[in-house]
């Protein structure tokens, strides 16, 4: 084999390439790519007095929203080109309960889906002579716009038992359409379990139903023994099914089942169950009983969005089902390094928080730990790395960064170190916790934060801790640049 002789320029290039490889091997930071899922924010709540929310983004560019109304007497729809726009979108009643007989009471938990060129709404209903004879039903709509479509009743979804059943949802994995729902097993002293079956068509199941989850953990059995409201999100070859547990008061929360998309989903052994809730009440943010969720995607299609209801107070007088104040809310879903979803906590009302990843350490996010601000990887306690960007405490045209899980606490500099501290109302605190939002110093797609009361000093990481320092070198600028996610 003949070898080419390296000329001086080629030799120099080879040395530089080798040196670069060595630097990479020692863990030297590399410039981050712009995140696949950039920051997205919404202002909660999206809809007052709307429970069991379902938002479906269609190919026509519209989001379609339906939910349980507190009168339990009708099915309503809204549409808008943005999720936030659903808040003020006009509402249309597409179906009203029967005056007598089945489908005459307790109209609950509608979901809207588009299947094979037609619209379908799944819902639960009781009967006028027995309001607790809850069963699952389907409407079929023909027309481009479901708010003006012609709707027909396809009847009841028949299952293995004629028993209390509700919360039907449908999804497709590897070309197979499934129905998941909640139902009472007449032979068990339970309220509801979660079941799964294949579908022959949008209103008929075909396989023998399989029980996926039964309420056995303590957090699933407060008030009532309940697993209900299944919802599915898929990513990375995994199928994640969230469900709601316990009574519909402040104890209501989300659990989660996980399966491989390549597994036999009709085998209970294919699913693993989280031993703790994945989303629960937060006294810190005054959000109680989050549950009965669905999933949608952001306007740019790059972020997964959790849709759910909760209340902004804990104590309820009487039966929670008679309390009308469950509100529809949304917030971004984040993904852990192991590929599992991270829902964090139900965030405070108002603008939703963001995360900020380091430009030159892309797997590290700004977070607080023992109130000290730093950048860190694998922050599974999500809310420690979430901050609401709010109007600056010290003046217009500026911003402050408020903690998601410690409302009223802000990132502020003290002795040029960045800490998370409670706003004491002083002018000094306001100045220290206020920043000018600048275009990223190292990348215009990023963001940098310049101190309000020390112009020229920016929030930057140094040995992974955040400080407020002057920047002059390219390394300084890289350390002071972050991406909103």
The total number of residues written for the chain in this structure = 485
* Per-residue model confidence (pLDDT) at position 30: 53
pLDDT, tens only, 152-207: 999 999 999 999 999 999 999 999 999 999 999 999 988 999 999 999 999 999 98
Q: What is the mean pLDDT of residues 18-42?
A: 62
239 DSSP β-pair partners? 234, 259
* Per-residue model confidence (pLDDT) at position 220: 98
DSSP reduced 3-state for 366: strand
Spatial distance between the Cα atoms of 303 and 305, rounded to a whole number of angstroms: 6
Q: Hey, CA dihedral for 324, 330, 331, 337, is it positive or negative?
A: positive
pLDDT, tens only, 258-313: 999 999 999 999 999 999 999 999 999 999 999 999 999 999 999 999 999 999 99
Whether 3 has a pLDDT exceeding 90, the answer reads no
Spatial distance between the Cα atoms of 434 and 450, rounded to a whole number of angstroms: 9
CB 123 within 8 A of CB 112: no
Annotation marks residue 310 as catalytic? no
Number of Cβ within 10 Å of residue 353's Cβ equals: 25
Of 9-23, 222-236, 355-369, 442-456, the range with the lowest mean pLDDT is 9-23
* Per-residue model confidence (pLDDT) at position 32: 63
Whether 25 has a pLDDT exceeding 70, the answer reads no
Half-sphere exposure of 363 (CA within 13 A, CB side): 9
The residue written with tokens 């809850």 in the block is 134
Q: What is the mean pLDDT of residues 449-470?
A: 98
CB 417 within 8 A of CB 460: no
* Residue 190 Rama label (left phi>0; alpha psi -120 to 50; beta): beta
Percentage above 70 pLDDT, the chain? 93
Give me the chain's average pLDDT, please.
94
pLDDT, tens only, 129-139: 999 999 999 99
Residues 6+ apart with CB under 8 A from 444: none
pLDDT, tens only, 139-156: 999 999 999 999 999 999
Residues 6+ apart with CB under 8 A from 429: 393, 410, 412, 421, 423
* Per-residue model confidence (pLDDT) at position 435: 98
Q: CA 340 from chain center: how many Å?
A: 12
Q: What is the mean pLDDT of residues 444-467?
A: 98
The conformation of residue 55, written as its DSSP 8-state character, comes to E
Any idea what the Cα angle at residue 69 is, between residues 65 and 71, rounded to 5°?
A: 160
Q: What's the 3-state SS for 218-266?
A: HHHCCCCCEEEEEEEEEECCEEEEEEEECCCCCCCEEEEEEEECCCCCC
Give me the sheet containing 327-332, strands edge to edge.
288-297, 304-311, 327-332
Q: What is the mean pLDDT of residues 60-84?
A: 98
Q: What is the mean pLDDT of residues 327-348?
A: 98
Residues 6+ apart with CB under 8 A from 344: 279, 331, 334, 382, 383, 386, 404
CB 334 within 8 A of CB 341: yes
Residue 105 is inside which H or E element, if any?
strand 102-115
pLDDT, tens only, 203-260: 999 989 999 999 999 999 999 999 999 999 999 999 999 999 999 999 999 999 999 9
Number of Cβ within 10 Å of residue 428's Cβ equals: 12
State the catalytic residue, choosing from 220, 228, 432, 479: 228
Whether 396 has a pLDDT exceeding 80, the answer reads yes
CB 140 within 8 A of CB 151: yes
CB 105 within 8 A of CB 71: no
Annotation marks residue 52 as catalytic? yes
DSSP reduced 3-state for 267: coil
Number of Cβ within 10 Å of residue 101's Cβ equals: 10
Q: How confident is the model at residue 16 (pLDDT cuts 50, 70, 90)?
A: very low
């Amino acid at each position: 084999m003949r070898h080419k002789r390296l000329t001086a320029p080629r030799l120099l290039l080879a040395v530089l390439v080798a040196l670069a490889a060595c630097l990479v091997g020692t863990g030297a930071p590399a410039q981050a790519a712009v995140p696949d899922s950039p920051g997205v924010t919404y202002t909660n709540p999206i809809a007052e007095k709307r429970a069991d929310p379902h938002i479906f983004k269609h190919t026509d560019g519209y989001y379609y929203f339906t939910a349980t109304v507190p009168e339990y007497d009708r099915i309503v729809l809204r549409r808008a080109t943005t999720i936030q726009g659903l808040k003020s979108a006009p509402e249309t009643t597409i179906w009203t309960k029967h005056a007598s007989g089945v489908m005459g009471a307790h109209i609950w938990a509608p979901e809207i889906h588009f299947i094979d060129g037609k619209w379908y709404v799944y819902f639960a209903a009781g009967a006028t002579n027995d309001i607790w004879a809850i069963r699952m039903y389907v409407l079929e709509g023909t027309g481009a716009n479901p708010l003006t479509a012609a709707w027909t009743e396809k009847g009841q979804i028949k299952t293995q038992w004629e028993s209390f059943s509700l919360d039907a949802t449908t999804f497709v994995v590897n070309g197979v359409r499934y129905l998941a729902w909640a139902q009472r097993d007449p032979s068990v002293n339970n309220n509801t379990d979660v079941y799964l079956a294949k579908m022959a068509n949008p209103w008929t199941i075909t396989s023998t139903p399989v029980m996926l989850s039964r309420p056995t953990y303590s957090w699933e059995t407060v008030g009532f023994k309940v697993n209900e409201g299944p919802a599915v999100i898929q990513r990375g070859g995994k199928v994640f099914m969230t469900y709601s547990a316990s009574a519909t008061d402040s104890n209501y929360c989300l659990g989660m089942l996980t399966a491989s998309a390549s597994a036999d989903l009709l085998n209970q052994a294919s699913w693993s169950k989280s031993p703790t809730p994945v989303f629960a009440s937060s006294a810190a943010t005054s959000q109680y009983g989050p549950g009965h969720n669905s999933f949608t995607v952001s306007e740019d299609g790059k972020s997964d969005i959790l849709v759910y209801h909760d209340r902004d107070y804990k104590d309820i007088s009487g039966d929670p089902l008679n309390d009308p104040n469950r509100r529809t809310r949304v917030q971004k879903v984040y993904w852990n390094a192991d590929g599992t979803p991270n829902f964090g906590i139900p965030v405070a009302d108002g603008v939703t928080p963001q995360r900020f990843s380091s430009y030159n350490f892309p797997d590290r996010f700004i977070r607080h730990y023992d109130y000290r601000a730093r950048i860190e990887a694998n922050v599974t306690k999500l809310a420690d790395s979430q901050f609401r960007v709010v109007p600056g405490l010290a003046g217009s045209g500026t911003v402050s960064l408020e903690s998601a899980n410690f409302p009223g606490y802000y990132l502020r500099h003290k002795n040029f170190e960045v800490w998370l501290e409670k706003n004491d109302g002083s002018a000094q605190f306001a100045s220290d916790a206020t920043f000018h939002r600048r275009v990223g110093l190292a990348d215009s797609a990023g963001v940098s934060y310049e101190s309000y009361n020390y112009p020229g000093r920016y929030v930057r990481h140094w040995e992974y801790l955040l400080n407020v320092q002057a920047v002059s070198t390219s390394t300084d600028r890289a350390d002071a640049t972050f991406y909103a996610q």
